[in-house]
Structure 1
Amino acid sequence: MHFLISIITYLLPLFYSTTYTTSEEAPTYIHQKFKKHSANELYDLHIEYPYFLIDNENKSHKLNLSIQSIMTSALKDFQHQHKKRSKKVNQNGFSYFNLSYEVVYLSESILSLKFINTLFYHGEASEKEKVSTLNFDLKNNKILKIKSIFDIETDNLRSSILSLIMEKSSCYCNRYSVYKQFCIAKEGIYFYGDDYSCPENCSTVTTFLSWSDLEDFSLNPLFAQHLL
């Protein structure tokens, strides 16, 4: 909580929020966003994120801390890269950092979030997008990995799913990066590439595998109970 207070203070003057409820069973979350124009450091920030309201304080803390961790990591990386690149550019100019999110799936048991980080560094030809995801087991208060979803040996699971992604994908992305960035949906799983893991000429960087595509894999019974 101390981190949240400090980052909000740092990013003011503009901060506001809206409360959302998706269903009676699913947790309520507050859509929060703030902006900062840094004339001294020559960049603009625009960050949007959800803050979840859960009755159990321990569960609420761990989930929101996981979300804040993604924000912090992305922001620190941007600031580091901005400072590093600014030294190589003769003329001063602004960079920007925009972080938004999408609630891909939310029930009383499972939350799946996609974060879209749009970055532009002064001196670059164009902006780029970077994707991060968070899948959270709300019942057991833990982050969900691919291996949490399927009842299969990890090495076999990874190689098999990577093969499916390659069959479905229209371009050759860094398979391991795409494998790590996924979102659970009612109909299947989305795997995300981005401008950092896929070639520039990619027509699409999202690969969707339906549960039918994945029918050869046995779902973890506990996961299946929560989702289906």
Structure 2
Amino acid sequence: MILLLRLFIVQDMAAHSACDFGGGKAEKLALAKYRQVIWQGRVLNSQFTDEELRNQGRCPLTPEEIGLLLAALGFGNSTRLYLASHKVYGGEARISTLRELFPLMEDKKSLASAEERAQIKGKASLLAAVDYYVSMRSDIFISASPGNMHNAMVGHRTFENLKTIRPNMALLGQIFLNKSLGWLDFQRAVLEGHKNRQGQIRFRQPKQSLYTYPAPDCMCHG
């Protein structure tokens, strides 16, 4: 089984989310500076605490958290992961725990030859196209955080009736904050909270994105 993991925790997203990612004082100072320069204080002046943001499901999942989510959903260390991502915030230090849980992890660098990588190096659209191509041919797609590519991929895969897991960000934010929760209770909560988030058709409600929810507008009528 190939599981396509969209792990897009880059500096822009980490900074824009206003969340704390557990990197200590140095990380907080670096993110505060980036938020001030790039986002002109709009994120820095958020009226919500980190705990409130996580309870609302407004923080992207870290690689460690996505690893625990996948394990709780029943994926074992024989599952092949394809990591579709730009440079992950925190680098290998952030990825190492996920790699320990899922050692069969691939990305563009590990799958493509040096010659192939040279042809797309620095070309953002082509790099994204490779991820999109692999995403559409993976058994399962899961994203650590919403975004434009996530929305397009969820919509496309739903239309093609391909399995896509939508993380329950609010639920996960709450249970990750509960440091006293044991593994069995954690797994039970994750499974219960994702019963209806594993590829089922969800009809679009008013003002929702057509790309994320293509039904019923893009359904074929015979």
Identify the structure with bigger relative contact order (alpha carbons < 8 Å, sequence gap 6+).
2
What is the TM-score when the length of structure 1 is the normalising length? 0.26
Whose strand proportion is higher, 1 or 2?
1
Whose helix proportion is higher, 1 or 2?
2
